[in-house]
């Protein structure tokens, strides 16, 4: 069954029936998993447990970086296994959530094609070769798709899973600001009465180390404004999630319509693009600025990517950052604007 755009009446039943007698199931998240991929994996695991009585394993690569995400995993007791402790050959069924094959954003080896792909990024041609794929780029989150699956299968959603999916939906749509699609609103309204409110509040407001504030200060200090665009080169990062967080944070500034935040984490240059401009696709901008340099992609208003820096000299790293920022300024139409540091005392 191939699903793209036009969703058939019963995709969840189709997916479940496809697994048949195959026993061992691995559900892969994307790298440095965010709440949407974690919640989607947890939902898929619950579906396999309740419909097929199979215990799926949830896998990931990178780190669960943000304090909120660590709190999500800990409080909702979501078992996740790092790819270093997994062997893909041990599994007969491989599912991928909130990502697609060969995006550079998941640990699945190129030679392996996942059997199931559920995602809300633009469809890729590699995905179209998978046995089952359900890709809905117009959806605000993969959690929305999985909520529909649980409803279709009439599986009871406990407060833990509801909390995870609600948080996945809320963060991926930035509190619905990035999507007001009916499917997302329906899932939001369906899940909200089922969440554990205290747990949810604790997940949203964890303690964060002092270094977190210092990195924010540092990122603001290194921000340069070009008309309605802000670029922040954040240097080395203690966790890769702080680049998208900063990109969201800076985009809320008056008169700013584009943000690009970059930083280095473990020999990778991580970048995050945000826009509030209509008629532009941040995901396409990310692809264009990384063309021939790295991998990336994303949605209409939010996108990201990375460049592998292994083996590059410091000078080559600097050139890479320069090339990316120059391409970005050109694409968004401010290449002739002089950059001004955001913090006045630098002038």
Give the Cα separation of 143 and 114 in Å (integer). 19
Do 75 and 203 form a contact (C-beta atoms < 8 A)? yes
Does residue number 241 form part of the binding site for Mn ion (CB under 5 A)?
no
32-40, 78-86, 241-249, 326-334 -> range binding Mn ion (CB under 5 A): 32-40
Distance between CA atoms of residues 188 and 96, nearest Å:
23
Q: Which residue is nearest to Mn ion (CB)?
A: 36
Identified binder of Mn ion from the candidate list 61, 71, 134, 172, rule CB under 5 A:
172
Q: Is the dihedral of CA 61, 64, 65, 69 positive or negative?
A: positive
Binding track over 91-130 against Mn ion, x by CB under 5 A: -------x--------------------------------
* Residue among 39 and 115 whose Cβ is closer to Mn ion: 39
> In whole angstroms, how close is the CB of 117 to Mn ion at the nearest point?
13
Rounded CA separation 282/304 (Å): 9
With contacts defined by CB under 5 A, name the span among 11-19, 138-146, 240-248, 260-268 that binds Mn ion.
138-146
Cβ closest to Mn ion, residue 71 vs residue 98: 98
Stretch that binds Mn ion, among 20-28, 29-37, 180-188, 223-231 (CB under 5 A): 29-37
Residues 67-96 close enough to bind Mn ion by CB under 5 A: none
Q: Which of 19, 29, 36, 56 binds Mn ion (CB under 5 A)?
A: 36
- Tell the smallest beta-carbon distance from residue 121 to Mn ion (Å): 7
Closest contact distance (angstroms) between CB of 144 and Mn ion is 9
Q: At which residue do the structure tokens 């504030």 appear?
A: 213
Beta bridge partners of 340: 225
- Let me know: does 140 contact 158? Beta carbons within 8 Å: no
User: Please, which residue, 149 or 233, has the CB nearer to Mn ion?
Assistant: 149
Mention every residue, 6+ apart, whose C-beta is less than 8 A from residue 273.
Answer: 247, 258, 259, 260, 282, 285, 286, 289, 298, 302, 303, 304, 328
Distant-in-sequence, close-in-space partners of 189: CB < 8 Å, separation ≥ 6: none
Which residue, 142 or 199, has its beta carbon nearer to Mn ion?
142
Site for Mn ion in 253-282 (CB under 5 A): none
Q: Which of 30, 34, 28, 29 is nearest to 241 (CA)?
A: 34
The footprint of Mn ion (CB under 5 A) covers: 36, 98, 142, 172
């Amino acid at each position: 069954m191939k699903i793209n755009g036009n969703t058939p009446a019963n995709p969840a039943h189709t997916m479940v029936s496809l697994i048949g007698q195959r026993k061992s199931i691995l559900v892969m998240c994307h790298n440095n998993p965010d709440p949407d991929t974690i919640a989607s994996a947890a939902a898929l695991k619950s579906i396999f447990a309740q419909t097929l009585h199979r215990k799926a394993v949830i896998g990931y690569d990178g780190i669960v970086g943000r304090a909120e995400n660590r709190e999500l995993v800990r409080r909702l007791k979501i078992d996740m296994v790092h790819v270093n402790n997994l062997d893909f050959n041990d599994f007969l069924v491989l599912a991928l959530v909130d990502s697609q094959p060969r995006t550079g954003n998941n640990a699945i080896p190129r030679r392996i094609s996942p059997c199931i792909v559920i995602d809300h990024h633009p469809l890729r041609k590699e995905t179209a070769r998978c046995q089952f794929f359900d890709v809905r780029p117009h959806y605000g989150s993969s959690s929305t798709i999985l909520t529909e699956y649980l409803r279709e299968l009439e599986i009871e959603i406990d407060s833990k899973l509801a909390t995870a999916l609600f948080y996945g939906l809320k963060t991926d749509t930035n509190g619905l600001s990035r999507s007001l699609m009916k499917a997302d609103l329906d899932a939001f309204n369906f899940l909200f009465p089922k969440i554990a409110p205290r747990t949810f509040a604790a997940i949203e407001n964890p303690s964060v180390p002092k270094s977190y504030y210092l990195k924010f200060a540092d990122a603001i200090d290194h921000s340069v404004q070009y008309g309605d665009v802000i670029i922040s080169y954040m240097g080395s990062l203690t966790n890769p999630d702080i680049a998208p967080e900063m990109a969201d944070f800076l985009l809320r500034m008056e008169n700013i319509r584009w943000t690009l935040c970059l930083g280095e984490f473990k020999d990778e240059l991580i970048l995050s693009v945000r826009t509030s401009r209509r008629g532009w696709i941040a995901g396409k901008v990310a692809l264009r600025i990384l063309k021939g340099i790295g991998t990336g992609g994303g949605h209409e208003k939010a996108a990201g990517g990375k460049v592998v820096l292994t083996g590059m000299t410091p000078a080559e790293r600097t050139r890479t950052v320069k090339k990316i920022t120059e391409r970005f300024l050109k694409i968004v139409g401010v290449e002739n604007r002089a950059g001004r540091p955001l913090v006045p005392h630098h002038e």
